[in-house]
Amino acid sequence: MRRKLKAAVSVVGFILGLAGLVFLAMQLAQYVRAPEVLNLSLTVYLVAAGCAALYVMGNLALTIAYHKFLRQSARAFSYTAILYGISQIAKYVPGNILHLAGRQAVGAQLHFEQSSLAKATFIEIISLALSATLFGSVLILITFLKTPPTLAFAFWVILQLFALLILARIFGKKIATGFALHTAYFLLSGFGFAILFAAISYSTRLSVDHILLLAAAFVVAWVAGFLTPGSPAGLGVREAALIFMLGPQFEGSEIVLAVLMSRISNIFGDVIFFFAAFGSLFQLMKHLKRPAFPTGSANKENPIDR
């Protein structure tokens, strides 16, 4: 019975990963054929490639944070990287939660405890939401209270330090470190979008204040898409949120184009991270000289546990 259940979970994980790749390829094909994208300059393409590299670094930060949240797991980081990199691709499947199910499926095959995975995922969602909320405070200060962006970000730094101290005091250093890594992910994503917008923009000369506003707005839009059920990778929600927040200050066409190029960069970053994780899995199988997902008796020693 246990062997059949494990086989079923393995099939589910494979199907979710494959579906994620299919939907990702469909989105990418649609984006790159857009006339606005085809008419962009080489400089914009190079900046987008740099943003893809930033997104790979952001994914690495997310993976390290998730590994920190797996406090009861004795697995090496390489297994967490395989787990996270392979399962994340399923976020492009409509539903916006299937990558979480895929994480449980892949984790079962790598012999992670399901309860530990579920707890780590819950902590991750709370940490991401909290980090994004602090970025939202910057947007509120700038937009509604007319606070200078540099002063708003100085206030944000104080909030971040205060949050880190509280988390470390109450929940421990690992949770606080994971939260800091989520903040690093948002900084990479937000400022990557701002730099991409600056490369695309032809009607606005961007100042430092504009860059800070763009970065904060992108993070708030990201979490809006993240928390919206049924939206694959926040598709549609992020665009609407950014147009609403940035529309009074920037051209709507530039916002949409920047979001489009940002999505293309994100897709390439996710693909690179996925194949890096898949390559790590292949190396693991080669090193063990046996299937990475053993189906033998549960009483036998698993090389992964050594």
Q: Is the pLDDT of residue 78 over 50?
A: yes
**Residue 102 falls in which region: left (phi positive, over 0), alpha (psi -120 to 50) or beta:** alpha
pLDDT band (50, 70, 90) for residue 287: low
- Chain segment 119-150, per-residue pLDDT in tens: 999 999 999 999 999 998 988 898 888 889 88
- Chain segment 216-253, per-residue pLDDT in tens: 999 998 888 777 755 544 456 777 888 888 888 887 77
DSSP-based three-state secondary structure for 91: helix
DSSP-based three-state secondary structure for 135: helix
Predicted confidence at residue 263, as pLDDT, reads: 86
Is residue 186 exposed (0-12), middle (13-18) or buried (19+ Cβ within 10 Å)?
Answer: buried
Q: Is the pLDDT of residue 254 over 70?
A: yes
CB 52 within 8 A of CB 70: no
Predicted confidence at residue 37, as pLDDT, reads: 66
Predicted confidence at residue 127, as pLDDT, reads: 95
Which residues lie closer than 8 Å to 60 by C-beta, 6 or more apart?
A: 273
Predicted confidence at residue 35, as pLDDT, reads: 63
More confident residue, 100 or 61: 61
Q: How far is CA 78 from the centre of its chain?
A: 18
Predicted confidence at residue 246, as pLDDT, reads: 86
Q: Please provide the size of the chain in residues.
A: 306
CA distance 92 to 21: 8
- Residue spans of the domains in the chain: they are 41-73+121-293
- Chain segment 30-50, per-residue pLDDT in tens: 655 666 666 788 888 899 999
